[in-house]
Amino acid sequence: MDLSNNASVIIVTYNHKKYMKACLTSVLDNNPLEVIVVDNGSTDGTVEFIEKEFPQVKIIKSPRNLGYGGGNNLGVKHARGEYVAILNPDTKVEKNWLEELLKPLKREEKLITTPKILTYEGSKINTCGNMDHFTGLTFTRGLNESPEKFDKFEYLSGLSGACFAMRRKDYLELGGFDENFFAYNEDAEFSWRAHAKGFKILYVPTSIVYHDYELKVPPEKIYHLEKGRYIILRKYLTRKGLLLILPSLLVTEMLTWGYSILNGISGVKFKIKGLKEGIRTEVEKIECDRKKLLKSLDWKVPEEQLSYSVVDRIIKKIANFVYWINYRVIVR
């Protein structure tokens, strides 16, 4: 049985006209039940292009920009499929991408699947799921590695918001993306919530997606990432829990402040803005087995990501030593 024809593919766009032909052509080749494009107020002719070239695609025009999370929540509410696949617009997919992503969902309950995502031309890995760190940091897994690597199915700490699949009812029961996250880190928060509610995240190497993405963290992105990190920590950890991981939190503060300072005055300003808003934003505490939650997350940060010198790598190596000791204490 082909599971693809029981799946709705959700694509949120904002001025992504140049990607739409390749993205929608490749997605439709996988015979999904429906393709839903949620447009967040594009001004580049995205909607008109889709209406003309892909009349079979369902378009939902949002009156305002809901952000990535809010757009996907709107799309899933209108979906008819038993399964939903969330997909970035600046992607194209392999044949059987969708079927491979859905097969494990047929066999296992409380599961989310995420594919192998390569760079747009396919020369290297973009991400094979994410690494969600227990201090709220998030990293792409397998970044810039050979496409042949990471060829085994594995349970992970984090899904990639660029693409994942799950049962529609599970998405709705989990509450969808937290709309406090306008951009970035919404996938990390969703991963923490999934683990908190007893879900597993499975990496599916046989499902291939190509993504036009290059890892960059300019000052404005620092704001979104740090705001999201503080919200996640406040949402899932008690004061006692935060005290238990305080040594690791202090190390992470040193790393994020250091990176912000390297980005100059604007980097520092956006770091402070993210800190303030992350602490002030009203959050709904999630009740869960916090030790079990922390066990599902990663303790190590990749030493090569966003490192520009030998000194950077040495600092991260020292940080990982502190993380390892602290993590062993809290999860024993």
Asked if pLDDT for residue 216 goes beyond 90, the answer is no
Same domain, 54 and 201: yes
How many other CB atoms are there within 10 angstroms of residue 102's CB atom? 25
Same domain, 30 and 172: yes
Handedness of CA 28, 173, 293, 282 (dihedral sign): positive
Same domain, 59 and 185: yes
Same domain, 55 and 120: yes
**Model-level pTM?**
0.95
For residue 231, the model assigns a pLDDT of: 96
Same domain, 174 and 82: yes
Same domain, 193 and 324: no
pLDDT average, residue stretch 91-110: 96
106-116 core/surface letters (b: 16 or more CB in 10 A; e: else): eeeeebbbbbb
pLDDT average, residue stretch 119-123: 96
pLDDT average, residue stretch 281-306: 93
Share of the chain above pLDDT 90, in %: 89
For residue 97, the model assigns a pLDDT of: 97
pLDDT digits over 136-187, tens only? Answer: 999 999 999 999 999 999 999 999 999 999 999 999 999 999 998 888 899 9
Least confident of 267-271, 284-288, 297-301: 284-288
Residue where a domain terminates, one of 186, 211, 236: 211
User: What whole-number distance in Å separates Cα of residue 285 and Cα of residue 149?
Assistant: 38
pLDDT average, residue stretch 111-117: 98
User: How distant is the alpha carbon of residue 180 from its chain centre?
Assistant: 15
- The tokens for 166 are 């799950």
CATH of the domain at 159: 3.90.550.10
Band (pLDDT 50/70/90 cuts) for residue 63 is confident
Q: Which helix (H) or strand (E) holds 159?
A: none
Same domain, 190 and 236: no
In which domain, by residue range, is 292 found?
Answer: 219-331
Residue where a domain terminates, one of 211, 238, 260: 211
pLDDT average, residue stretch 75-91: 97
Tell which wins on pLDDT, 245 or 308: 245
For residue 1, the model assigns a pLDDT of: 64
Least confident of 51-55, 69-73, 126-130, 307-311: 307-311
Residue where a domain terminates, one of 145, 176, 211: 211
214-237 core/surface letters (b: 16 or more CB in 10 A; e: else): eeebebbbbbbbbbbbbbbbbbbb
Share of the chain above pLDDT 70, in %: 100
Same domain, 36 and 148: yes
Same domain, 184 and 245: no
**Domain total in the chain:** 2
What CA–CA distances, in Å, run from 184 to 82, 103, 187, 298? 27, 28, 7, 19
pLDDT digits over 230-273, tens only? Answer: 999 999 999 999 999 999 999 999 999 999 999 999 999 999 99
Same domain, 198 and 294: no
Mean pLDDT of the chain: 95
Count Cα neighbours of 73 within 13 Å in the Cβ-side half-sphere: 20
Same domain, 205 and 91: yes
Same domain, 44 and 174: yes
